[in-house]
Amino acid sequence: MRYYVVADVHGFYTELISALTEKGFFEDNQPHKLIICGDLLDRGKEAVKVQNFILDLMARDEVILIKGNHEDLVLELLEHADRYFEDKFSVYCSHHWHNGTIDSLIQLTGLSVNDALEDTAKFIEKARKMPFVDKIIPKMIDYYETANYIFVHGWIPCKFYRSDGKYVFVSYQSDWRQADSERWKVARWANGIKCACSRKITEPYKTIVCGHYHSSYGHYKYGDAAEEFGEGADYSPYIAKGIIAIDACTALSGKVNCIVLDDNFVTPNRSSCE
């Protein structure tokens, strides 16, 4: 099977289609699928186009969807909407506004910020009925595994602790495939590049393909790039032992990374919603 792999599309439909076109996805007549390693929306302004494109791929069984931390944010917002829309949790200063979660739901529902503030119940009810929430997120899985690769969003679940409100990932755990939903939620926030290159948390004999953390970090921290951001940054896929990191930080770079891999599916995978 040929896999076209992207991550962190973040609502940039035009850049996604450009990357897939460049790699020959739409002209490929052989069995192939698109793997998206999480974070479909939140940042760009083409949420509806991304949603519709994914629905079309799902109808043709041509996509594998990995859940990202931004999908978790959507579900968390919908679960606690009343709290976030109270005056003391102003929509303009909440982390859901900063991360683009609310903006994406506004795009999908066609409602405005004022609509959401004035009638939160109506806004949330309509958001829950959007295909992105009702059909796409429920089909997302924690990981996908082939003979030589593991596809995740942040990283595989591993041993961690919290320091100053942040997760610190420290060592490999062989039982990560049996991790529960809470451990996967934590893993989706991991900097996979740091896990692989500094902590040496990798899967023996396999390469982990991940998104979430911009690939320019790897090129700057462990490679030859002059900057992590700016003119000297390198947003191309970062490749090292045990890892291929592909988040192009599209909002800054203006592109989506797409890699093409040929491999065989070997392991059943578990939905994060089970």
What's the pLDDT score for residue 28? 97
Total domains present in the chain = 2
Full-model pTM: 0.94
Reported as a single tens digit per residue, the pLDDT across 113-153 is 889 888 989 999 999 999 999 999 999 999 999 999 999 99
Mean pLDDT of 257-266: 93
Question: Cα–Cα distance between 96 and 141 in angstroms, integer?
Answer: 23
Question: Cα–Cα distance between 12 and 45 in angstroms, integer?
Answer: 7
Reported as a single tens digit per residue, the pLDDT across 22-34 is 999 999 999 999 9
User: Does residue 269 have a pLDDT over 70?
Assistant: no
86 and 23 within one domain: no
Mean pLDDT of 90-115: 85
33 and 132 within one domain: no
Expressed as residue numbers, the domain containing 80 is 72-136
145 and 219 within one domain: yes
125 and 88 within one domain: yes
What's the pLDDT score for residue 129? 97
29 and 118 within one domain: no
Instruction: Please answer whether residues 241 and 196 qualify as being in contact, where contact means their C-beta atoms are separated by less than 8 angstroms.
Output: yes
Helices within the chain (DSSP H only):
13-23, 47-59, 69-79, 81-84, 95-98, 101-109, 113-118, 120-128, 131, 181-187, 192-197, 215-221, 250-253
Reported as a single tens digit per residue, the pLDDT across 38-94 is 999 999 999 999 999 999 999 999 999 999 999 999 999 999 887 777 755 565 557
Reported as a single tens digit per residue, the pLDDT across 188-227 is 999 999 999 999 999 999 999 999 999 999 999 999 999 9
Mean pLDDT of 160-171: 92
CATH number of domain containing 205? 3.60.21.10
CB atoms within 10 A of CB 187: 27
Question: Cα–Cα distance between 199 and 190 in angstroms, integer?
Answer: 12
What's the pLDDT score for residue 266? 75
What's the pLDDT score for residue 88? 52
- Domain end among 136, 171, 187: 136
What's the pLDDT score for residue 274? 33
263 and 131 within one domain: no
17 and 150 within one domain: yes
Mean pLDDT of 253-263: 97
Percent of the chain with pLDDT over 90: 85
274 lies in some domain: no
Mean pLDDT of 226-240: 97
Question: Cα–Cα distance between 243 and 143 in angstroms, integer?
Answer: 15
